[in-house]
Structure 1
Amino acid sequence: MKLKLLVFAGLAEQLGGSAIDVDIAADKLTTAQLKSHLIEQFPQAAPALAQSYIAVNQTYAEEETPISERDEVAIIPPVSGGEPQPMPETGHELAEITMDPIAVEQVTAKVLHPNHGASIAFIGTTRELTHGQRTTLLEYEAYTPMALKTMQQIIGEIGDRYPGTLCAMTHRLGSVPVGEISVVIAVSSPHRDAAYDASRYAIERLKQIVPIWKKEIWEDGSEWKGHQLGPWNPTAANGGAQP
């Protein structure tokens, strides 16, 4: 079986590119078998591969999910973590990924509603100092179609958990200098309690399942940062996000 695998972030650097070809002597293949094959083929990347998940056709796959040559297969290293009831129609794309600077007011405008008395905008920016280390720049990369799909999934989850609540999220890719915005999550609701809770849920869930990675660039080096909130399992129910 011949497969072309999409690879991202630091794992792509270890495997030698953002797309790799593998040829496996098997007529049938599961994601678990593919992962074992990759660990054997790329022993230098074994620790990173062991923590990674496989996505098949832009969906996180279980270990026994079958793979065919027709599938779009991606190796998803831990995403960039930090420390369906339909949504009301707004006429805007509620999930967005951009290479351009983000305008907070434009994201917030997507969720403003005459029946909502509370709105919140969570703004994530590049900070200069982390544990005493000076950051000069963040570089963001995404598996864009799957990132948009999982962002839309989160927006739907919020509609289920907090009926009537609207959520929009925009994430920036590429270079984000110190002080500039990397992500904006806007939430509105008839009452403030649901708006606060939904905002917290959205950012925690985004950091759990959305395939976006960041590279911290310092004065004396750089490092891809993955999930930092304990064992990473994007297939778990609600990904461990707070209710």
Structure 2
Amino acid sequence: MNIEVLLFAGLAEHIGSSRVTMSFTEPSVTAGQVKTQLAANYPEAAAAIQSSFIAVNQEFAALESPIHEGDEVAVIPPVSGGDGLASYPVFTSSDGLHIITQNPLSPEEITAKVITANHGATLAFVGTTREMTEGRRTVHLEYEAYVPMALNKLSEISRELAERWPGTLCAIAHKTGKVDIAEASVIIAVSAPHRDICYDASRYAIETLKHKVPIWKKEIWKDGSEWKGSQLGPWNPLAPPST
């Protein structure tokens, strides 16, 4: 059985490719077996592989989850939680509420998706690139996304908000590629009947995004660069986020 495995961010840099083909004699293997074999094949990247999770058909998988030939398999390193004139494609979720693009983001455009006559409160969270972090000057950021899975996870966040706070609407846009200082990288718009719900739902949305959406951030400095993964301890996207 041959499985093509997708790789992202710093892990792809370690291995030197965005995809590899793995061969197994069994007709079915587990996500844990894929991680173990991948680490054996690429020992120089073993530490990065160990801290990553396997996604099967765009869903995070437990180590015992089965993988069959034909499944879409990706190795997801810790996502970037922590703290132009060109026109690029805009990738949109099936409900039209979520987008991922290299184009500049518009708070007005995203907020307009959730404003409704029956809601008395609308809140837009705009995440921007800061210049100084712990005394080090950032030149710009670069973001990478596993786009189809990221859009699915953004839609999941909207559904979770609607379940926790009935009637809540949420739209999210995330920029990929280069993001300059003070430029928006993410916009989360939430509307609800009352303002207290807006504040709670918006906080939940950004914390969940940082916890489980496969988007990675690379900090570019004048003298180097680094992919930034989870900065809040061991990363486990199958566990609920801390909010």
Q: Which TM-score band (shorter chain)? A: over 0.9
Alpha carbon RMSD of aligned pairs, Å? 1.2
**Pairs aligned (count):** 233
Instruction: Please report how far the alpha carbon of residue 27 of structure 1 lies from its aligned counterpart in structure 2 after TM superposition.
Output: 3.0
Secondary structure, aligned partner of 2:59: coil
Output the CA distance in 2 between the equivalents of 1:191 and 1:64.
Answer: 43
Segments of 5+ residues of structure 1 without an aligned counterpart are 84-90
Identify the range of structure 1 (111-120 vs 127-136) with the bigger mean alpha-carbon deviation: 111-120
Matches within 5 A, 1:184-199: 184-199=187-202
Output the CA distance in 2 between the equivalents of 1:157 and 1:72.
Answer: 25
Tell me the amino acid that sits aligned with residue 184 of structure 1.
I
CA deviation digits over 1:104-126, x for unaligned, max 9? Answer: 10000111111211111000011
Q: What residue is the counterpart of 1:182 in the other structure?
A: 185
Q: Does 1:141 align with 2:144?
A: yes
Instruction: Please report how far the alpha carbon of residue 92 of structure 1 lies from its aligned counterpart in structure 2 after TM superposition.
Output: 6.4
Percent identity of the aligned residues?
57
Q: Return the TM-score normalized by structure 1.
A: 0.93
Q: Does 1:41 align with 2:44?
A: no
Output the CA distance in 1 between the equivalents of 2:35 and 2:172.
Answer: 32
Segments of 5+ residues of structure 2 without an aligned counterpart are 84-93
Instruction: Please report how far the alpha carbon of residue 24 of structure 1 lies from its aligned counterpart in structure 2 after TM superposition.
Output: 2.5
Q: Return the TM-score normalized by structure 2.
A: 0.93
Kindly indicate whether the alpha-carbon contact (under 8 Å) linking 1:8 and 1:75 is maintained by their aligned counterparts in 2: yes
Secondary structure, aligned partner of 1:25: coil
Q: What residue is the counterpart of 1:3 in the other structure?
A: 3
Q: Does 1:240 align with 2:220?
A: no
Secondary structure, aligned partner of 1:54: strand
Kindly indicate whether the alpha-carbon contact (under 8 Å) linking 1:92 and 1:110 is maintained by their aligned counterparts in 2: no
Secondary structure, aligned partner of 1:29: strand
Kindly indicate whether the alpha-carbon contact (under 8 Å) linking 1:99 and 1:174 is maintained by their aligned counterparts in 2: yes
Q: What residue is the counterpart of 2:158 in the other structure?
A: 155
List, as ranges, runs of 4+ consecutive aligned residues in structure 1 with deviation greater than 2 Å: 24-28
Instruction: Please report how far the alpha carbon of residue 127 of structure 1 lies from its aligned counterpart in structure 2 after TM superposition.
Output: 0.7
Output the CA distance in 2 between the equivalents of 1:82 and 1:185.
Answer: 17
